[in-house]
């Protein structure tokens, strides 16, 4: 499929992915109330770190390798099995760490069952070969699997979640879609012959792939401190009710953030190829168009929230969640800031294999966040969390843009590698 057809198919499915949570969100918030809604939001944030640990940055680095080696079935299979085995080991480590924390940290005792249900999402991260489908530019099939898994889980959610006592059932329906889509996509990859054959995986292969992915992971780990960890900090300082208000605003903003992904998933393999072939001007032309599109769209979203944000909260969550409006008016700036960061990071730095600066960028971002977040949360609660996140993401986006400017002036430091390590395929 052409890039345009890929994008159109992805946006059609993304629209459905947008509608499915909209059906569930009013029922979830009104049935569970702010406290249980916040408890599930806390568990999602807590488990997200271990999803990130299991992914370890492989999704981006492997998608780039697959896109370049799509006509080399042996190399493609070697990348697949290397990533799958590496992720399996990290998932086992994650589940062990979670178990130890649940036993040793008294503050997690009340949330232990919701967090344990989150194991489903960790296993789903291993089984989901999103990077394979992205690198082969088969994203519509990948997105369709995600959509259908959500629809399947929507049925028991609407049937069995009737009161705050049913919050564990709600948690299962929220965590299991990643596992269901992973089983589907993995099975389809083998049945359709996307993975031609078993390739013996050497420890050296895992180590070489991990070294490259570590630059992504280290940045993601530091990013966790000023994204998902905010919910954890807010929970221990202010309680689950304040988490519920923050998650309310974040749930309304999240679909706007996700609208960028079809464009990124469609164009990332193409841009990797352009840079690998030395067609820098063509690649940067695509990047400029993406920046214009996301700026215009997010500006309209900001205007809409300031005009009718209270009505959106009333419609999807009810009057009990109206305290989330100030957080919504702050967080609505986040999709634009993050969209620019993702474009600069993935479409320029990652696409050209320039990963070494990520630890420095996100380390500075984490330090900046640590300076101001605790004070803002203690002073303003959930609103302080929202302000802190926006300030930090703005700072990090500026650093990424500065790194892109330096790269443009000096040119790529090395030619993008074509194999699983840095050897010639």
- For residue 242 the two structure tokens come to 């304040």
Rounded to 10°, the helix 139-160/261-276 angle is 160
- pTM here is 0.66
Looking at residue 180, its pLDDT comes to 92
Looking at residue 279, its pLDDT comes to 83
CA angle 339, 4, 22 (to 5 degrees): 55
Token pair 């006509």 is found at: 71
Handedness of CA 321, 326, 327, 328 (dihedral sign): positive
Q: Is residue 54 classed as helix, strand or coil in its secondary structure? A: helix
Write out residues in the chain with pLDDT < 50, as ranges. 1, 413-425
Q: Say if CB 385 and CB 305 are below 8 A apart.
A: no
- For residue 249 the two structure tokens come to 């605003």
Looking at residue 6, its pLDDT comes to 62
Looking at residue 21, its pLDDT comes to 65
Phi, psi dihedral angles at 225 (to 5 degrees): -65, -30
Q: Say if CB 345 and CB 391 are below 8 A apart.
A: no
Looking at residue 419, its pLDDT comes to 41
Q: 318: alpha, beta or left, given left = phi > 0 and alpha = psi -120 to 50?
A: left
Looking at residue 422, its pLDDT comes to 39
Looking at residue 115, its pLDDT comes to 92
Q: For residues 175 and 355, what is the distance between their CA atoms, to the nearest angstrom?
A: 31
Exposed, middle or buried: residue 278 (CB in 10 Å: 0-12, 13-18, 19+)? exposed
For the segment 11-20, what is each residue's pLDDT rounded down to a tens digit? 666 666 566 6
For the segment 197-256, what is each residue's pLDDT rounded down to a tens digit? 777 778 887 887 777 777 667 666 666 666 667 887 888 888 888 988 898 888 888 878
- What is the separation, in whole angstroms, between the first and last Cα of the chain? 25
Looking at residue 399, its pLDDT comes to 92
Q: Say if CB 357 and CB 406 are below 8 A apart.
A: no
Exposed, middle or buried: residue 292 (CB in 10 Å: 0-12, 13-18, 19+)? exposed
Q: Say if CB 374 and CB 216 are below 8 A apart.
A: no
DSSP code, position 70: T
């Amino acid at each position: 499929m052409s890039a345009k057809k890929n994008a159109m198919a992805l946006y059609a499915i993304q629209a459905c992915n947008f509608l499915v949570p909209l059906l569930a969100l009013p029922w979830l918030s009104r049935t569970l109330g702010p406290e249980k809604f916040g408890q599930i939001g806390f568990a999602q944030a807590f488990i997200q770190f271990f999803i990130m640990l299991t992914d370890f940055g492989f999704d981006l680095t492997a998608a780039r390798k697959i896109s370049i080696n799509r006509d080399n079935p042996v190399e493609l299979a070697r990348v697949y099995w290397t990533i799958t085995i590496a992720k399996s080991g990290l998932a086992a480590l994650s589940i062990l760490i979670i178990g130890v924390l649940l036993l040793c940290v008294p503050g997690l005792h009340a949330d232990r069952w919701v967090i344990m249900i989150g194991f489903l999402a960790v296993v789903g991260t291993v089984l989901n070969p999103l990077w394979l489908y992205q690198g082969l530019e088969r994203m519509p099939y990948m997105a369709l699997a995600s959509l259908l898994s959500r629809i399947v889980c929507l049925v028991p959610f609407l049937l069995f979640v009737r009161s705050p006592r049913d919050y564990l059932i709600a948690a299962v329906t929220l965590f299991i879609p990643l596992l269901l889509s992973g089983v589907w996509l993995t099975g389809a990859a083998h049945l359709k012959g996307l993975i031609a054959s078993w390739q013996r995986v050497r420890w050296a292969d895992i180590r070489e792939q991990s070294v490259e992915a570590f630059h992504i992971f280290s940045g993601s780990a530091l990013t966790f401190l000023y994204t998902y960890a905010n919910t954890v900090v807010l929970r221990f300082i202010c309680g689950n009710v304040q988490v519920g208000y923050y998650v309310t605003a974040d749930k309304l903003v999240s679909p706007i953030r996700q609208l960028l992904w079809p464009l990124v998933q469609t164009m990332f393999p193409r841009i990797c190829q352009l840079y690998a072939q030395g067609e820098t001007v063509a690649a940067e032309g695509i990047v400029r168009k993406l920046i214009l599109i996301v700026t215009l769209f997010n500006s309209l979203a900001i205007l809409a929230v300031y005009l009718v944000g209270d009505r959106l909260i009333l419609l999807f969550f009810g009057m009990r969640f109206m305290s989330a409006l100030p957080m919504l008016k702050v967080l609505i700036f986040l999709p634009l800031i993050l969209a620019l960061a993702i474009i600069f990071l993935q479409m320029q730095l990652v696409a050209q294999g320039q990963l070494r600066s990520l630890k420095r960028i996100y380390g500075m971002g984490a330090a900046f966040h640590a300076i101001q977040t605790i004070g803002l949360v203690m002073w303003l609660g959930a609103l302080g969390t929202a302000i802190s996140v926006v300030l930090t993401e703005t700072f990090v986006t500026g650093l990424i843009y500065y790194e892109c400017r330096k790269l443009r002036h000096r040119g790529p430091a090395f030619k993008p590698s074509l194999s699983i390590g840095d050897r010639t395929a």
